[in-house]
Amino acid sequence: MAANTKRALVVEDEANIAELITLYLEKDGFDVRTASDGLEGLKAVDDFNPTIILLDIMLPKMDGVSLLKRLREERIMTPVIFLTAKGEQYDKVSGLDLGADDYVTKPFQPKELVARIHAVLRRAEGSVPAKERKLDFDKLTINMDTYELIINGQKVDAPPKEMELLFHLAASPNRVFTRNQLLDEVWGFDYFGDSRTVDVHIKRLREKLEGVSNSWAVKTVWGVGYKFETTG
């Protein structure tokens, strides 16, 4: 029998929550593995090769944010959904920078969580085909297979969400995107965050891209949103 392509890793130290998630995901056809702390979760990523990771933020030994940061530093781009406690104080923009794909606040409805998992996986599977995952412009290369941003021939460090935002804009040159469209299409959950989330990322991208070329630019369309403008 072929290996199940739906594999969920649940990194959660509350056993009752982990068991509930496991029950619903197995019923939905997932192979499920659980880990009760961050270090165990990190090892399970290598052993289990999950297609989705459900990651609690507050974990013993290694917290969820540190675990996600470690994965992204190692270029492991498996989709991650954070599980956050109600009222938990956390800089969610930082989590987005690291490449979180969604947030679910506890307590949650298991059926809603399963639906959100499917939505995240659809976005991952429905991304731009591999042959189009690298964009080249004058003095600029955006390579989403390796998550590399090359400016003037030099690799420039950029968090995953900055890369995804720039790629999304540049893949449709001169098209104007509203902030809400970008929140929905890049972050994938339009009910979370506001225009400041997009604005912060645009500002950081411009700091990297300013003055590089006269043939393209990330432009503000006042009262609407942003576009990657090309000339010629």
- What are the percentages of helix, strand and coil residues in the chain, rounded to 5? 40, 25, 35
Q: How many CB atoms lie within 10 A of CB 59?
A: 23
The two structure tokens encoding residue 82: 């954070």
**Residue partners of 201: CB distance under 8 A and separation at least 6:** 97, 161, 162, 165
CA distances, 126 to each of 15, 80, 130 (Å): 33, 16, 11
**Residue partners of 116: CB distance under 8 A and separation at least 6:** 81, 102, 104
Any idea which residue has 């700091």 for tokens? 207
pTM here? Answer: 0.59
Domains and CATH numbers, the chain: 7-125 (3.40.50.2300), 130-230 (1.10.10.10)
DSSP 8-state symbol, 137? E
Per-residue model confidence as pLDDT tens for the chain (232 residues):
345 578 999 999 999 999 999 999 998 889 999 999 999 999 999 888 899 999 988 899 998 888 988 888 787 788 888 888 755 555 555 555 667 777 788 888 888 888 888 888 877 765 544 445 788 999 999 988 778 899 999 999 888 888 889 999 998 899 999 988 888 778 765 445 566 788 889 999 999 998 899 999 999 999 889 999 998 6
